[in-house]
Amino acid sequence: MQLKPFTAALPNASGLTKLTTGDQTWSAEDEQTQSGDSYYWYEITKNGVHQWRLIASWPVDQTVSTMIPAEINTVLYATQPVIEMLIDDWVGHFPKAFEFTDPANVTHRLWQITDDDVNADITEAMTNVTPRKTWLTTTSTKLVMLVADRDWAKFKEPVTAPDHLIKFLSD
């Protein structure tokens, strides 16, 4: 996969309050720019079930395999134990960027991977991963969320990310 880290804007305190309450009146004052290009680990929890996703930059001239066309498309890939082991190792070393529970009682947690060497390792580990080509969309996007097949199957109905979870700022 042609993935890259990227610079993002994330919700600040007022933005998290809006995401928690479902308030759709979003403005630039509800977000803060993160320093440097990073990957982001994203955990969604509903009814005690967890799903992990990697948020990365994706070449805009590519369409992706996805269930639901959205600002951040979801790409499924075959479970690979080496990647899962690396995810377990990486996430524990970085503080959470934020955590909130939305009105649908879904908890969202996001970690920013700020170390250049770790980001390089993620890029290298994901390069040889082939996404599953099951659902196609013509939506081309700068951001993609990658989910292992097994993790995707944990929820009977897909759980989506809020519209203002993360905003792409890199060129």
* Count: domains in the chain: 1
2 within a domain of the structure (yes/no): no
103 within a domain of the structure (yes/no): yes
Helices and strands, counts by H and E, the chain: 4, 11
3 within a domain of the structure (yes/no): no
> DSSP 3-state assignment of 161?
coil
Using alpha carbons, select from 92, 96, 51, 76 the residue that is nearest to residue 146: 76
CA dihedral (83, 88, 94, 99) positive or negative: positive
d(CA 57, CA 135): 20
pLDDT at 48 over 90: yes
Residue 170 pLDDT level (bands cut at 50, 70, 90): confident
Q: Is 18 or 92 the better-scoring residue by pLDDT?
A: 18
102 within a domain of the structure (yes/no): yes
98 within a domain of the structure (yes/no): yes
Residue 59's pLDDT is 82
pTM assigned to the model: 0.89
How does the average pLDDT of the chain come out, rounded?
A: 85
1 within a domain of the structure (yes/no): no
Using alpha carbons, select from 113, 76, 102 the residue that is nearest to residue 163: 102
User: What confidence tens digit (pLDDT) does each residue in 80-100 have?
Assistant: 766 676 677 777 778 899 999
Element (H, E) at 39: strand 39-46
Residue 133's pLDDT is 63
Q: Domain limits at 151?
A: 8-168
